[in-house]
Amino acid sequence: MKDKAKTKERPVRVKRKPNIVEALSAVIVLLVIFFFGSLADLSAPALIGISLCWVVFIGWRCGYSWEEMEKYTAEKIKSAAPAMSVLIAVGFLLGSWMYSGTIPMFIYYGVQLVSEKWILVSAFALCAIFSTCTGTSWGSAATAGITMMGIATAMPNVNIAAVAGACYTGAIFGDKLSPLSDTTILAALSTKNDIFDHIKHMSKTVIPAAVIGVAVYLVMGISASTTGTGLPENTLQLLSTLDSVFKWNILVLLPLVIVVYGAVTKKPSTVVMMISAVVALLIGMFYQGFELADGVTALYSGFNLEMVEGARPGFIAAEAGEDAMTLLNRGGLSSMLKSFILIYICFYFAGIMEQIGAIEVLLGKLLQSVKTRFTLILATAVSVIILVAIGGSSSLALILTGEMYNEKYKEMGLSTLNLSRTMEDFGTGMAGFIPWSGSGVYYPSVLGVPISAYLPYCFMSYAVWVIALVYAMTGICMKPLEADAELKESEGAEA
């Protein structure tokens, strides 16, 4: 008897969007897992991996196969390549800047020039100036932020978490207002506004909020207890160690000059940072007198005081003190490994949520509830926050929110400048509060302080939110749509 091979065709699964319960459950599961996981101090990449399993299950229920989801997210992960390259460059930068003495030089003189009472204001101001000039909050945190954290670590009676909060909000200040910032550019582009009109409108919430933040930092500094005159013994020991390890010369600041110049002239940030790292490597080798092999090791594993022993006869790393080791033994590509893994998994999560339509379902319900100016601003804020939380990216949130709300603002008689401002008020910098986002991993690793510690001291961010909602309730600084039309008419008449 001849058996005939029977081939069974797979039944075609009908694809559908998730219902509101399914879409909402993905967010709730993510938040619950991270809440309890953070309490137990569990690994963030593992937690997002568990949450990813639930999203894959929801995708399967909606008719998507694993092959389809994997193919879609593969394309999504490609968009993470620029962020990955920046992480590589930052890891190299930190290790090489320690090796060359660039960061130690800032710390050495900063400890002697900046008082404990002014450390918070100084941290905010330096990071704000750097990020405004360069348009990069990540770069500001990796340079000015690390410098101020190093200075603060060398001071007694200084609230390190508060300094980290000041550094973070200072970096975000420039990210909101700089014409070089990618989020500022995206907010203007996605709402079809001139970037300088957007910055002018944006300043009406950011500048008052910054004044409030600085005022709080000033009060905290003035009211803080200090050690009195002179530097304490442990700080003097740290300065002595730095003096014996490194040579001080303006040449040592060249790597920083390269980064600032590259950022201001809008050169590719990754390339600029890599060039700066190479220059720092050469300075460490030829000027500081360290071994080339140690410099290459610093690029990957970070700088270590034991590298100094060969170049400085009589120096013993073990006797340098705990403060010096904590401050100097850092950097390198390996320090960014956790960020690499987390960003990769986060893009899987965001990709599947986007593919199955869960984001559209969640935000669609918000749009239906918008009836007044205040609810419009509130819905925009909630949408941006949800998108940042789901996707872990401010850029994605700004693009999607701009597309979704553009017509709604016009329909309600409001200029889309109000939309672009609201998106940045609540979106730019929000990723640094989300533990599973790239920024949520990056800032704690660079500043050396967990999100839960610096979160209470981000006063400017909270002030921006309050001011934005007060404007929405009262109508203050809310630009009507007619103002745009009148402006365009007057410009056309002049032409």
pLDDT tens-digit series, residues 337-349: 776 776 677 777 7
User: Residue 114 — very low, low, confident or very high, per pLDDT cuts 50/70/90?
Assistant: confident
Determine the Cα–Cα distance for residues 166 and 480; give it in Å rounded to an integer: 34
Does 298 fall in a domain? yes
Q: How long is the chain? A: 495
Mean pLDDT confidence for 111-118: 75
Residue type, 175: D
Determine the Cα–Cα distance for residues 308 and 242; give it in Å rounded to an integer: 11
Inter-CA distances, 461 with 13, 176, 427, Å: 46, 11, 10
Mean pLDDT of the chain: 81
**pLDDT at res. 489:** 47
Determine the Cα–Cα distance for residues 53 and 66; give it in Å rounded to an integer: 11
CA 405 from chain centre, in angstroms, equals 25
Does 209 fall in a domain? yes
138-180 pLDDT, tens digit each: 777 877 787 788 778 777 778 899 999 999 999 999 888 876 6
DSSP-based three-state secondary structure for 123: helix
DSSP-based three-state secondary structure for 6: coil
187-206 pLDDT, tens digit each: 887 787 887 788 889 999 99
Does 478 fall in a domain? no
Residue whose tokens read 């390890």: 245
Which residues share a beta bridge with 480? 414
Determine the Cα–Cα distance for residues 13 and 453; give it in Å rounded to an integer: 47
Does 483 fall in a domain? no
Does 308 fall in a domain? yes
Q: Which residue did the predictor score with more confidence, 340 or 448? A: 448
User: Residue 209 — very low, low, confident or very high, per pLDDT cuts 50/70/90?
Assistant: very high
Report residue 359 as tokens.
């984001």
Please choose, from the candidates 87, 239, 39, 65, the residue with its C-alpha nearest in 3D space to the C-alpha of residue 153: 239
Determine the Cα–Cα distance for residues 244 and 317; give it in Å rounded to an integer: 11
Residue 210 has pLDDT above 80, yes or no: yes
DSSP-based three-state secondary structure for 480: strand
User: Residue 495 — very low, low, confident or very high, per pLDDT cuts 50/70/90?
Assistant: very low
Mean pLDDT confidence for 116-130: 85
Q: What share of the chain is helix, strand, coil (3-state, %, to 5)?
A: 75, 0, 25
**pLDDT at res. 80:** 65
Determine the Cα–Cα distance for residues 97 and 239; give it in Å rounded to an integer: 18
Does 250 fall in a domain? yes
Q: Are 167 and 213 in contact (CB under 8 A)?
A: no
Does 444 fall in a domain? no
- Residue 252 belongs to what domain range? 82-335
**pLDDT at res. 232:** 60
Does 43 fall in a domain? no
**pTM flag (> 0.85):** no
Task: Determine if residue 9 is left, alpha or beta; phi over 0 gives left, psi from -120 to 50 gives alpha, anything else beta.
Answer: beta
Residue 233 has pLDDT above 60, yes or no: yes
Number of structural domains (the chain) is 1
Phi, psi of 422 (to 5 degrees): -65, -40
Q: Are 163 and 149 in contact (CB under 8 A)?
A: yes
